[in-house]
Amino acid sequence: MSQELSSEQIQQALQGISIPPQPQIMVDLQMEQYMPDPDLDVIAKLIAQDPGLSGALLKLVNSPYFGLSNKIASIQRAVRLLGSRSIINLINAQSIKGEMTDDTIVTLNRFWDTAQDVAMTSLSLAKRIGSQAVDEAYALGLFHDCGVPLMLKRFPDYMSVLEQAYAKAGSECRVVDTENQAFNTNHAVVGYYTAKSWRLPEHVSVAIANHHNALTIFSDESSHNSQLKNLLSILKMAEHICASYRVLGNQGEDHEWNSIGHLVLDYVGLSDYDFENLKQTIRELGAHH
């Protein structure tokens, strides 16, 4: 049931925010598309590892062209809906977005690495703790920091401020507070607007907006916000397991988790002991990717 979309339609639908795709994934995708019989499953797996490509893909599939009744967050489904011809047009549209300097690539590797790890870990956690929202958990893991490359584009000293933000994070100060002081905006807000422009499901965008607001959200013990809490609890566990505080924040300790961890684990009903075991299991899985 896939519709053909021309290069023009794709360019038009992708107007606006662009996060550069990961060079290595582009190479792998180019290789696959030149195969006599390109394999859509392989293509979907590659795209699903990259926030920029996945964002562009979901933006297309959730666009008025397709007229889906509900917005989807599943990258596999999006690939099947688009079909190989349109996917190849999409990949080519993304690949001409401009060359990056080596320095930029090195810095962005920190973002790409955490995005892939956190997405995979969120998926494992969602399956293990019996969450219904497996596709959403993966999408949130992949996209939660999509504001980072855009902040970096806008503010050259952004990474050093982000490192300070992680250093100061805790019960008194959120990661985003430090960014707000320096730039009057932060990667969670920018990420929210990016996700909206990609037409992600609204509750996924809202979770991106709030992903450094966990202390307030989980301190409120009332039953409202359960959809947000379900998504954020998986994300915050995944960020901790994947050591985002180290890869992105360049810190030796996860100050944010130290202040919210007990609330998150209470919410999902895991003891510290259970969580330690889960962490080990997932880290061992991750070592075998």
Q: Look over the chain and give the mean of its residue pLDDT values, rounded to a whole number.
A: 90
Q: What is the pLDDT of residue 83?
A: 86
CB neighbour list of residue 281: distance below 8 Å, 6 or more residues apart: none
Q: What is the mean pLDDT of residues 245-264?
A: 96
Higher per-residue confidence, 258 vs 170: 258
pLDDT > 90 in the chain, percent: 67
The predicted structure's pLDDT at residue 272: 95
The helix/strand/coil state of 6 is: coil
Predicted confidence (pLDDT) per residue in 10-54, tens digit: 777 777 777 889 999 998 998 888 888 888 999 999 999 999 999
Lowest-confidence range among 7-16, 185-194, 228-237? Answer: 7-16
Least confident of 101-105, 137-141, 195-199, 273-277: 101-105
- Which domains are present in the chain? 7-95 (no CATH), 102-287 (1.10.3210.10)
Distance between CA atoms of residues 271 and 277, nearest Å: 10
Tens of pLDDT along 88-117?
Answer: 888 887 776 567 888 888 899 999 999 999
Q: Which of 168, 198, 179, 158 is nearest to 51 (CA)?
A: 198
pLDDT tops 90 at residue 231 = yes
Neighbours of 280 (CB within 10 A): 11
- Stretch among 13-22, 41-50, 133-142, 230-239 having the lowest mean pLDDT: 13-22
* pLDDT at site 3: 62
Q: What's 252's DSSP letter? A: S
- pLDDT of res. 289: 46
> How many Å apart are CA 37 and CA 236, to the nearest integer?
40
